[in-house]
A and B are shown apart, each in its own frame.
Chain A
Amino acid sequence: MSYSNKVIDHYNNPRNVGSMDKTSAEVGTGLVGAPECGDVMKLQIKVNPATNVIEDAKFKTFGCGSAIASSSLATEWVKGKTIDEALAIKNTEIVKELSLPPVKIHCSVLAEDAIRAAIGDWKKKQSASTPVPVEAKA
């Protein structure tokens, strides 16, 4: 199997590798895939609650070169986007950008899932931490 130059570049120089504090209210974490399937992606986003803009993104991936490249690219793409703009990213755009062959399309699907899972986690935290008006106690 031959890899595209873009996949090789992301594999050799993955962007935004790392981890953020998953307990932080500003951080959303998506963990998708399974070790038994040979792919696990962890994608984290740090969102500005006032603007809903994703200010930072990090990833770690267990998987083939295409899986690493798909998640590395996903972090690049979500950075600077609003939550809604990031949700609009389609796996087919990742396939096109990285010239993924048909046997590697599942890697792009997993990257899209990871973005959605991270955003879902962040939203859950937001609704949980929304200040509920409490009657002042004397």
Chain B
Amino acid sequence: MSGLDEVYINGTMEHRLPQNLNISFAYVEGESLLMGINDIAVSSGSACTSATLEPSYVLKALGTGDDLAHSSIRFGLGRFNTDAEVDYVADRVIETVSRLRELSPLYEMAKEGIDLKSVKWAAE
């Protein structure tokens, strides 16, 4: 993932299941990312909340903010996955995140040096 900036691994790299990876791609909404890599079986949020649009409460309990929780993808590896498949997924994710960031007003604002936390958002 060195092809992208502002990528955050959720949870520790030491105390976790080896086949599980949960990553937040800042400024990109998780569901839109899934839609761009729809030939890959990954999930946004967690298995626990897959039926809802709510961000993962597990991530929130780990201290991930609501914003980054909306930008998370859960990758799971099985025993039959190959190195080539991992490379393929990495390429597709980088390509899609880059495309969606060009579409993201948040990425644009962050690049302009605006602190998104200081913005008074006009929520619904």
Cβ A110 vs Cβ B29 within 8 A: no
Within 8 Å CB of A8, what residues of B? 35
How many positions in chain B have a CB within 8 Å of any CB in the partner chain? 25
Nearest A residue (CB) for B44: A64
Q: Is A136's beta carbon under 8 Å from chain B?
A: no
- Verify if A106 is at the interface (C-beta below 8 Å from B): yes
Against B, the Cβ 8 Å flags (1 = close, 0 = not) of A35-60 are 11111111000000000000000001
Residues of A within 8 A of B29 (CB): 38-39, 62-64, 67
Closest B residue by C-beta to A106: B124
In the complex, whether B66 has a CB less than 8 A from a CB of chain A is yes
Q: How far is the CA of A38 from the CA of B27 in the complex (A)?
A: 10
A63 touches B32 (CB 8 A): yes
Q: Are B105 and A42 in contact (CB under 8 A)?
A: yes
A68 within 8 A of partner (CB): yes
B28–A62 CB distance below 8 A: yes
Task: Looking at the assembled complex, report how far the CB atom of B90 sits from the nearest CB atom of chain A, in whole angstroms.
Answer: 21
Main DSSP-derived SS at the A contact region: mixed
The distance from the CB of A59 to the nearest CB of chain B, in whole angstroms, is 8
Interface size band for A: 20 to 34
Residue on A with the closest CB to B54?
A38
Query: How long is the Cα–Cα vector from A28 to B27 in the complex, in angstroms?
Result: 23
Q: How far is the CA of A63 from the CA of B71 in the complex (A)?
A: 9
Task: Tell which of A11-19, A75-83, A92-100 binds the partner.
Answer: A11-19
Chain A residue contacts of B36, Cβ below 8 A: 11
Question: Is residue A32 within 8 Å, beta carbon to beta carbon, of the partner chain?
Answer: yes
> In residues 71-124 of chain B, which contact A (Cβ within 8 Å)?
102-108, 116, 121-124
Which partner residue on chain B sits nearest A103 by CB separation?
B53
Q: Which residues of B contact A61 (CB under 8 A)?
A: 103-105
Please name 15 pairs of A and B residues whose Cβ atoms are closer than 8 Å in the assembled complex, sorted by A. Answer: A11-B36, A33-B122, A33-B123, A33-B124, A35-B66, A36-B65, A36-B67, A38-B29, A61-B105, A62-B27, A62-B106, A63-B29, A65-B32, A103-B53, A109-B124
Q: Hey, which bits of chain A sit against chain B, CB under 8 A?
A: 3, 8, 11, 14, 17, 19, 31-42, 60-65, 67-68, 103, 106, 109-110, 113, 117
Which 10 pairs of residues, A with B, have the shortest CB-CB distance? Answer: A34-B121, A42-B105, A36-B66, A64-B31, A38-B70, A35-B67, A60-B105, A34-B123, A65-B35, A62-B104
